[in-house]
Structure 1
Amino acid sequence: MSTNSRKVRAVSRFSPAGTLAASVLAILATAADAQAVTQWDLPGQPLAKSLRDIAAQSESNIIFDKKLVSGQQARPLKIKASAEEALSQVLEGTGLTFRQLDDKTVTIQLASTDPMATTSAAYNSDGRIRLAQAQTSPSGQGERQPRTIEGRTLLDIEEIIVTGTNIRGIENNTAPITVLSREYINATGYSTVSKLLESVTQNFALANQSGQVTPGVTVTREQGSSINLRGIGEGTTLVLLNGRRIAPGYRSAAVDISALPLSAIERVEILPDGASALYGSDAVGGVVNFILREDFEGAETRLRAGVADGVDEYRASQALGNAWESGNALVSVEYLQRDRLASADRDFIGANSLIDTLLPETEQYSAMFTGKQQIGSSLSVFADALYTRRDTEGTGRRTFAESVSNENDQIATTLGVDWSVAGDWNIQLSAGYNENTTDQVSNARVQAIPTLPINVTVSEYSFDSQIAELKADGSLFSLPGGKVSMAIGAAYRTENYEETIRRLPNTPLSAQDVDQDVTSAYGEVYVPLFSEANAVTGVQSLELSLAGRYDDYSTAGSSFDPQAGLMWEPVKGLRLRARYGTSYKAPNLVDYSLASNSALALAGNIPGLGPTRVLSVNGIAVDSLRPQESESSSFGLEFTPEGVAGLSVSLNYYKIRYTGLIANPGAVLTLLSDLNAFSDLLIFNPSVDQVNQFIAIGQLGQGFASLIPNFTPDQVDVIVDGRRRNLSVVSSNGIDLATEYNFNVGANRFFIGLGGTYVLNRDQQVTANSAEIDTADTIYNPPSYRARGFVTWQRQGVAANMFVNHVDSYVDNRATTPVANSKVDSLTTVDLRLSYDFSNKFSSGFLSGFSVALSAQNVLDEDPPSVFITPTSSTFDLGFDPVNADPLGRLISLEFVKTW
């Protein structure tokens, strides 16, 4: 695996999310590390091409700045030698040398450059990203010095920002970041972003991937996928693209990731921890940041075909990139097509299930552009743009003759300027426009009666946002442990949501147009108290991170969220970290609607109350909506023993309490069955004025109706306020564990690991006064344990990967099941991928830069565990739990990749 680029942003280890510490003993195998000897036969060619050829044949990472090698020619290389010896040969006479960063990564530098002052990028032994750092003197305290070659000043490799901090050039070691590198993405054999994120063990309930209504997860039919880190709920994971917000779908509830082009993704950075102090709303369960490919020269063509029982899948992508002395640009396009998966094609779907489509027919298009241009020595401009189009079509309940089709368009654009000012301070001004629109056509009968006509409903949903942001960051002063750095910024964005729903030919059902303005200010400070420069016994390093953010919403008020983190390294290779912060989620714009309000007077014999006359009010309590708040903490360790190269162990404990969730409290009988839990929603013996006030609330939407003959307001015994509001509480805590070990045996490279997430509790309260119910290990909720293990073998151009996925058993606790708490079996699936890169044997011609891969997901074709199908005419039951299992089965794919 090689990384060759003009400007290195970051290089990460092959690191899937999470593994089990219990597996440490199983992977502490000792291995001999021998240098492989290769027969080299490279022609005289540009030095950059020879470096790439050596990286490909030796399966290593060679990192260099294009300006260092620009215009230089490498002599022919015909020798039987190690990769190091080959590098020495091609660099002879160029004025360049190389420095070993680890066993598979080197950086090219000027021969006279002090190793301590070299700008470089590498990966840590614990799998976390190490950033390209500013050039300093050997003491670490000097100022940046310009480098020159052939009389020309070289621009340093750009310092980058990764998820978990707003400060360039540092890594927030207090944050438990997981990185899915391009290497890992390729090794999985997955064809979609949705499937990739489904493999992350901290992510539960990949919502609505089948397009069917899933109890407790989603009520929309956009037939897409959203992320749900920690299983806290839809929309509680902030999704970023190149570090910036994108427009949500699901009627403003959550970002739909299903149409993001996987071939355009360089890496995915995951922070499974609250982070509103850095990013604002939605970062309750964590943050997922998709980083687009940026530095790529030449052309790359990818063709893929896959087949499962009853389903064919095709993907094609093309990337074109170029780099010049002062900039770079990349264009990438992708096309994906997948057939509809019918329930009739899966024998685990019972005949009594009414659902006809398990996965919709899908067709996706995407186009991406990213570019940067240096203007002078201190100013640069950059631009990113992504457009996706996803068309889906599927059917629902047969007895209702349901079908639904969606046309979904997403746009994400950013234009910005970077300005290097005094010292190492940088100012960035950026502006962006994002849009998500869905046109939906659904057909259905009102009741399951074949003689009734089929109604056609047309829905149009649109969310757009404009954002402007100004940020400055750099160092404040120096401590013995290093430079104290800071980032400050301010942002302003406008958001608009429009919705129109009508029944053909011309019956309006709903119309909504809501907008809001959000003003933000934030700051962050990084304090290296101890480092290698001033380490003492028991304190090799000690880092403090502080952050805070203020957001003001024109609709929901304001929120201030602080965050503090500490990392302590008592001995080399052992890092302990702790982190605390608050987060929030603003109400969805769709919730600012009175269209669904209604009031109904009815009478009946209520258990425990006797004959009772009730005024039931439903809809949304718009005037009382406020941000939903959370408090989170995490404690963890990372162990990378110096005596066992390539081994890493990590453990992370998390705790989240999420309060004021906007939810529907329930039906009238539910609220009246527990007077203590729902006391805030009940008004006994109301006055006439109070009754008239709540009737007026209902008349703002659907109106008022009475099932009580000759009704008068003074007859009401109790008002039941069942409007949607800030109501519920969810508390969750658990443990992430991970072990990984990579080693060489002669010319063979092995990489093994096992990991998972264990949910200790997931307690949910309908209201703050009601009893807690542990929902972990129950249907449609996170199981207590998910794991993913992997084994990788590489030898020259051959690579083989195996992944094992496990979901623990849980219970079906629905009241409609014939046996209370019936068991849902565990599920274990195996994915395989075998690939060969012909560049290992061919340095020129068509086969140079050509690779082929054969992959099989769920190679054993394991069926999802079956669940009971409730015997009602309106059921959406599929016969399995779509939150925790995939109905696709075994998918075999063949992929060809050619770089030109």
Structure 2
Amino acid sequence: MVKFNFIKKSAVVWIIGVFSLAALPLQSVSAADESDEVIEEVVVTGSFIKRKNQSDLASPINIIGLDEINKTGFTDIEDIAETMTFNTSSYGRSDLAGGCCGTSRSIDIRALGISSTLVLQNGKRVASSSSFDGSDYTNIKSLMPVIALQSMETLLDGAAALYGSDAVGGVVNLLPRKQFEGFEMRIGGKDIDASGQHEAQFIVGTQGDRYSGILAVGYEHIDHMRNADRPFTLINNTSSYGSPGTHILQGRPLADDGVSDLILNTETGGLVNYTQLYDDNVGTGTTLQVADPQCYPELVPAYGAVPGGGQPTDQFPLGLCKSTYQPHNSITPEEDTFLVYSVFDIALNDFMNLELEYSGYRRQSRTEFIGSFPQTNGSPIVPASNPLNPFNVDTEWRGRMLGLAYPASSVMNDGDAQRYNATLTGDFAQFFTGDWAQSWTYSLSAQHSQDANEGEAPDADLISIQHALNGFGGQACNVRFDGPAATMTAGQGACYYLSPFGKDLLKTPGTRADGYNSVFQVDSDGNVIYPDQATMMSVLSNNVMARSMRLNDERTLQVIEGFATGDIMELGGGMMGAAIGFQHRDHHRELIVSNFGTTFRQSFNTPQTSGMGGRNVLGIFAEVNMPFTDRFEANVAVRREEYEQYNSTDPKVSLKLGLMDDLTLRATWGTSFRAASLSQSSGGDTNSRVDQTYDPLHPDEDEAAAIGTFRTILIAKNPDLLPEESTNYNIGVSWAPEAIPGLTADIDYFNYEFEKKIRAEGAQDVLRSDPCGPAITRDTTSTIPNAQNLDQFPNCPSVVGPVTIVSIGYFNTGSTSVSGIDANIGYGMDVLGGELTANWVTTYMMEYDVQTLDGGPITDGAGWRNFGPRIPVPEVRSNLILNYSKGPHNYNATARYISSLQDDIAGRPATLADIAAWNSLDLQYSYNFGETADYTLTVGAQNVTDEMPDTIPYAYLARLHNPFGRQLYARFAVSLD
């Protein structure tokens, strides 16, 4: 169970906030002239030395402020991150390969990996989440309501010298609206084909002489959307473990009289003599693999062009009976998200302030899947004694019981995150009288944050299925640990039989309207008796979808940190500033697996074990800023972090040179590092997943066509992983020509050189490179008929069985290189009494060299799908934003472009089609009205032209493209002082 009760804690925050606001009179906004305002120096993202403006930094930084957020119609922080051109791809959305559950979102600067971007909330770390491959990342959906966001600032070069591990690609800092005063509320919704969204958010703020604070609450609901609802996910992606399935006959089949040949009427092949088929093909063995006799597409109603029934291979009646499993699966889950954020600042005296901060997140989601998963972990036996077994011999059954003929199954998942922080800031002038103390300030903070995800993975119980095939199915059938009780009779009384054969799937083949036919009993004379539909579904629920593995993955982070900053001496360009500080982090992770999830009884999911791990990290850092002249300054920072196994010292040097008043050059150089995550390196829990792979030896699997089988992927922890090491530099220029008022241009070249990059081996890469190697486990009880490509792999014997497990591990790779260019050009001018602004933002990836196998080659991944590491890297991401404001009216248009990609799903074959470029256009209009413009009505559309992702193997690039299509929205906001 989740340790922190979100509702109770949120209620406490509400009560505190409401009583605080009620007790403290709202102050009116100051009407002082802006020219009289004193610009206070503050700590900005990318430095611990106080500065007047973020632009004083030499490091490249991207700022998305409150005004831009309102003009572009972002609903949540996920919307903002998805449009960042430097956010090469984002983990978290469901696709046909990952399957579940699409309830989180990450930021991945420069495609360096989701663990290589450090996300801060109000300048502080938060507890991380974990991906399927064990990488840690911050779920940006769990941080704060977008109505509480003042700006989203991204430092676009390595920053380990200041922030420590994980700040390899850069730092994203979400800053709240601390100075907000009054009340603001907004409600809205989106119309999405086959889905929808609605939201409600509000913020309350107060400002006093010795206090200030805000309380923000947000709620968002997203409707469920299935693969069947989009053309690019409604594809015939088949599984070799299909419905009704494939049977391996354990003996020579005969007719009911035990003497005559067995002749069955099949829909696909007409009359088939299975006895003769057995005699002609069994050879020196005793078993024969055949497709279900009633394996044909029309057995179950189709979903558009995708067949609902079985799909036999060309060898029918031999071969496999495959079927698709995707139409019922979710693209996006049904999801309810609650967010609370509050920060209060209290002046304890004239020198000291206490800031108290809380954020809370609660998610409840429902994801749908096909009725039951395939039985890849074992093949139940349909005994000859089963009255509806047409072969009259035992058969080993490979398939899934509940295919597309049956309703979808639902998976419930919960997420919970909390963060508590207290920060004490003050002036040294309170304690010291020297001149130096007048500029030096300090900050001490302590926080506790937690991120927990609890979910279920429903699965068939192989033992329960076997009992039902033997005639002992049903909740009231007394089946004990050692088998059925002596008083139980197969298929009678409280016990029921299960038939997996296609002929018994539906009462009327081709329609679900008349009900199902797969559960039955027999009377004393051996006659088959079918129960009512409610009883039939009860037996199926009890014996097929009989169990659910529950997982609770909880992370906690406790941080104590502090720093001091102030002036040292006067230089030619101003005061030399410095900062020194420390940080102590306590990371802890615990995975709790329910009992069923630890067993080998699951038909599809992999056995997992509970476990925990943790570590402590101590960091110290120092920073110096030296303005040598009015036009030239240097900034130097260094940080040392110590772990139990290793330590790292990382410097950073930044230079800024003003060539002219309107032209500035800047450059940064530094090193960064990232320690392995707890999931990758420590703890007694097992890390595994199920993924679709393609066996190059199996004649019925085709990687290029995405025809494969979901298999168990075991990921071994590696306690000897070394931290990633990176050297990066950035060279940039900023130009704001006086001759062209309103024009600004920032262009930067970035370069990262990695060593010891931590990656999980690609399961498909391992299987493709050595399909009979030590990392591949194959079934030794059966064989692949007509196995192919055996001569290409010396390790393979002449007879091989199906792949059951692919074992991969984490490793430190060789060098990886990333380089490219960021461009941000803006222009503003007055037009027809209003203000017109244009902004063009582009990221061009020149180089992305990546290694996916331990000891394998380094390949150029820029402009490629990169199926192995699953990080698509388009060469160009570009946004063009036009905005026009006049009086109460505001118009906004945003065009977005993502360049095409070459597909490498099958080893970069020349015949594989490119993944088309993505173009979308967003439009928004807002109108302010009321006596003091307190009300705002906004209407708009995202992806006006209803651009859909390109259909590719695995349907679409979930990390890059948006599956919703056109989204029409309306929003109403109220803002009161």
Q: Tell me, in whole angstroms, the C-alpha distance in 2 between the residues paired with 1:594 and 1:820.
A: 45
Q: Tell me, in whole angstroms, the C-alpha distance in 2 between the residues paired with 1:431 and 1:777.
A: 44
- Picking from 425, 443, 453, the partner of 1:418 is 425
- Picking from 361, 368, 375, the partner of 1:388 is 361
Q: Does 1:741 align with 2:827?
A: yes
Deviation of 1:337 (Å): 0.6
Deviation of 1:404 (Å): 3.4
Q: Tell me, in whole angstroms, the C-alpha distance in 1 between the residues paired with 2:188 and 2:209.
A: 34
Q: Tell me, in whole angstroms, the C-alpha distance in 1 between the residues paired with 2:827 and 2:666.
A: 22
Q: Tell me, in whole angstroms, the C-alpha distance in 2 between the residues paired with 1:577 and 1:119.
A: 28
Which residues in structure 2 correspond to 1:465-476 (within 5 Å)? Answer: 465-476=557-568
Q: Does 1:867 align with 2:952?
A: yes
- Picking from 839, 842, 851, the partner of 1:756 is 842
SS of 2:85 mapped into structure 1: coil
Matched pairs, number: 674
Query: TM-score scaled to structure 2, two decimals?
Result: 0.65
Query: Larger Rg: 1 or 2?
Result: 2
2:128 maps to 248
2:105 maps to 225
Deviation of 1:577 (Å): 0.9
Whichever residue aligns with residue 564 of structure 1, its letter is V
- Picking from 572, 580, 590, the partner of 2:661 is 572
Whichever residue aligns with residue 775 of structure 1, its letter is G
C-alpha distance 367-722 of structure 1, shift in aligned 2 (>3 A): closer
Q: Tell me, in whole angstroms, the C-alpha distance in 2 between the residues paired with 1:618 and 1:884.
A: 26
Q: Tell me, in whole angstroms, the C-alpha distance in 2 between the residues paired with 1:557 and 1:221.
A: 35
Q: Does 1:458 align with 2:560?
A: no
8 A Cα contact 1:212 1:221, kept in partner: no
Q: Unpaired runs of 5+ in structure 1?
A: 1-45, 53-65, 70-95, 99-106, 110-117, 121-131, 133-158, 532-540, 599-604, 607-616, 683-706, 709-719, 869-876
Q: Tell me, in whole angstroms, the C-alpha distance in 2 between the residues paired with 1:205 and 1:213.
A: 16
Whichever residue aligns with residue 574 of structure 1, its letter is L
- Picking from 944, 957, 972, the partner of 1:881 is 957
Which residues in structure 2 correspond to 1:822-861 (within 5 Å)? Answer: 822-839=913-930, 842-843=931-932, 848-861=933-946
1:636 maps to 732
- Picking from 448, 452, 456, the partner of 1:433 is 448
C-alpha distance 235-644 of structure 1, shift in aligned 2 (>3 A): same
Q: Does 1:552 align with 2:642?
A: yes
Whichever residue aligns with residue 883 of structure 1, its letter is R
SS of 1:344 mapped into structure 2: helix
Q: Tell me, in whole angstroms, the C-alpha distance in 1 between the residues paired with 2:97 and 2:747.
A: 35
Deviation of 1:321 (Å): 1.1
Pick which of 265-274 and 497-506 moved more.
Answer: 497-506
Q: Tell me, in whole angstroms, the C-alpha distance in 2 between the residues paired with 1:47 and 1:380.
A: 20
Q: Tell me, in whole angstroms, the C-alpha distance in 1 between the residues paired with 2:550 and 2:138.
A: 22
Q: Tell me, in whole angstroms, the C-alpha distance in 2 between the residues paired with 1:884 and 1:506.
A: 35
Deviation of 1:379 (Å): 1.0
Which residues in structure 2 correspond to 1:345-744 (within 5 Å)? Answer: 345-353=229-237, 354-355=325-326, 356-396=329-369, 400=373, 403-421=410-428, 422-445=437-460, 453-454=544-545, 455-504=547-596, 507=599, 509-531=608-630, 541-554=631-644, 556-591=645-680, 592-596=682-686, 620=716, 622-665=718-761, 670=766, 723-727=809-813, 729-744=815-830
Deviation of 1:453 (Å): 2.7
Q: Tell me, in whole angstroms, the C-alpha distance in 1 between the residues paired with 2:765 and 2:142.
A: 42
Deviation of 1:293 (Å): 1.6
2:38 maps to 119
Q: Tell me, in whole angstroms, the C-alpha distance in 2 between the residues paired with 1:861 and 1:755.
A: 23
C-alpha distance 204-268 of structure 1, shift in aligned 2 (>3 A): same
Q: Tell me, in whole angstroms, the C-alpha distance in 2 between the residues paired with 1:306 and 1:627.
A: 44
Could you give the per-residue CA deviations for residues 159-203 of structure 1, whole angstroms, max 9, x where no partner exists? Answer: 322211111225452110110000111111121211110100000
- Picking from 231, 234, 238, the partner of 2:118 is 238
SS of 2:443 mapped into structure 1: strand
Q: Tell me, in whole angstroms, the C-alpha distance in 2 between the residues paired with 1:47 and 1:503.
A: 55
Q: Tell me, in whole angstroms, the C-alpha distance in 2 between the residues paired with 1:630 and 1:759.
A: 18
8 A Cα contact 1:593 1:620, kept in partner: no
Q: Tell me, in whole angstroms, the C-alpha distance in 2 between the residues paired with 1:725 and 1:305.
A: 45
C-alpha distance 395-624 of structure 1, shift in aligned 2 (>3 A): same
8 A Cα contact 2:626 2:634, kept in partner: yes
Q: Tell me, in whole angstroms, the C-alpha distance in 2 between the residues paired with 1:230 and 1:889.
A: 26
Whichever residue aligns with residue 253 of structure 1, its letter is D
Whichever residue aligns with residue 137 of structure 2, its letter is A
Deviation of 1:768 (Å): 7.5
Deviation of 1:211 (Å): 6.9
1:160 maps to 42
Q: Tell me, in whole angstroms, the C-alpha distance in 2 between the residues paired with 1:444 and 1:471.
A: 51
Could you give the per-residue CA deviations for residues 349-404 of structure 1, whole angstroms, max 9, x where no partner exists? Answer: 33314432111111011111111111222111111110011112212456626653
Q: Tell me, in whole angstroms, the C-alpha distance in 2 between the residues paired with 1:511 and 1:483.
A: 55
C-alpha distance 768-165 of structure 1, shift in aligned 2 (>3 A): farther
CA RMSD for the aligned pairs? 3.1
Whichever residue aligns with residue 38 of structure 2, its letter is T
Q: Tell me, in whole angstroms, the C-alpha distance in 1 between the residues paired with 2:97 and 2:421.
A: 34
Whichever residue aligns with residue 374 of structure 1, its letter is A
Q: Tell me, in whole angstroms, the C-alpha distance in 1 between the residues paired with 2:686 and 2:738.
A: 62
8 A Cα contact 1:323 1:329, kept in partner: yes
- Picking from 772, 775, 782, the partner of 2:861 is 775
Deviation of 1:559 (Å): 1.1
8 A Cα contact 1:665 1:671, kept in partner: no
C-alpha distance 351-756 of structure 1, shift in aligned 2 (>3 A): same
Whichever residue aligns with residue 643 of structure 2, its letter is Y
8 A Cα contact 2:199 2:218, kept in partner: yes
Which residues in structure 2 correspond to 1:58-97 (within 5 Å)? Answer: 66=30
Q: Tell me, in whole angstroms, the C-alpha distance in 1 between the residues paired with 2:116 and 2:764.
A: 28
Q: Does 1:820 align with 2:820?
A: no
Whichever residue aligns with residue 565 of structure 1, its letter is S
8 A Cα contact 1:668 1:722, kept in partner: no
Q: Does 1:206 align with 2:90?
A: yes
Could you give the per-residue CA deviations for residues 481-519 of structure 1, whole angstroms, max 9, x where no partner exists? Answer: 100000100111211100012354884731111111111
SS of 2:756 mapped into structure 1: strand
Q: Tell me, in whole angstroms, the C-alpha distance in 1 between the residues paired with 2:97 and 2:207.
A: 47
Pick which of 505-514 and 773-782 moved more.
Answer: 505-514
Could you give the per-residue CA deviations for residues 500-543 of structure 1, whole angstroms, max 9, x where no partner exists? Answer: 12354884731111111111100111111111xxxxxxxxx111
Q: Tell me, in whole angstroms, the C-alpha distance in 2 between the residues paired with 1:350 and 1:671.
A: 27
- Bigger strand fraction: 1
Q: Does 1:266 align with 2:150?
A: yes
SS of 1:811 mapped into structure 2: coil
Whichever residue aligns with residue 421 of structure 2, its letter is T
Deviation of 1:662 (Å): 2.5
Q: Tell me, in whole angstroms, the C-alpha distance in 1 between the residues paired with 2:561 and 2:79.
A: 32
Query: TM-score scaled to structure 1, two decimals?
Result: 0.71
SS of 2:142 mapped into structure 1: coil
1:807 maps to 898
Q: Tell me, in whole angstroms, the C-alpha distance in 1 between the residues paired with 2:742 and 2:830.
A: 10
8 A Cα contact 1:662 1:728, kept in partner: no
C-alpha distance 621-463 of structure 1, shift in aligned 2 (>3 A): closer
